[in-house]
Chains A and B, each alone.
Chain A
Amino acid sequence: MKFGILINEGPYTHEASDTAYLFAKAAIEKGHKVSRVFFYHDGVYNSSRLTEPPTDDRHIVNRWQKLAKDHGIDLVVCVAAALRRGIKDENLQEGFRISGLGQLIESGIQSDRLVTFGD
Chain B
Amino acid sequence: MTEVTGGIEMEEDTSGKIKKFLYINRKAPYGTIYALESLEVVLIAAAFDQDVSLAFLDDGVYQIIKGQHTRTIDVKNFSPTYRALEGYDIEKLYVEKESMEVRGLKEEDFIVPVKVISTQEMADLMESQDVVLSF
Contacts and interface: CB of A to CB of B under 8 A. Distances in A.
Interface string A83-119: 0000000000000000011101110111010101001
Given A41-B33, A114-B131, 4 more contacts: A6-B133, A108-B50, A109-B14, A109-B50
Interface string B8-41: 1010101001010100000000000110010011
Nearest to B34: A41
Interface string A8-45: 10000000000000000000000000011000110000
Contact of A116 (B10, B48, B133): B133
Size class of the A contact interface (CB-based, 8 Å): 20 to 34
Interface residues of B, number: 27
Contacts of B67: none
B2 interface: yes
Interface of A: 1-2, 6, 8, 35-36, 40-41, 74, 80-81, 100-102, 104-106, 108-110, 112, 114, 116, 119
Interface in B118-135: 130-135
B45 A110 contact: no
16 contacts: A1-B4, A8-B34, A35-B10, A101-B41, A104-B44, A105-B21, A105-B48, A106-B10, A108-B130, A109-B48, A110-B8, A110-B17, A112-B2, A112-B5, A114-B132, A116-B134
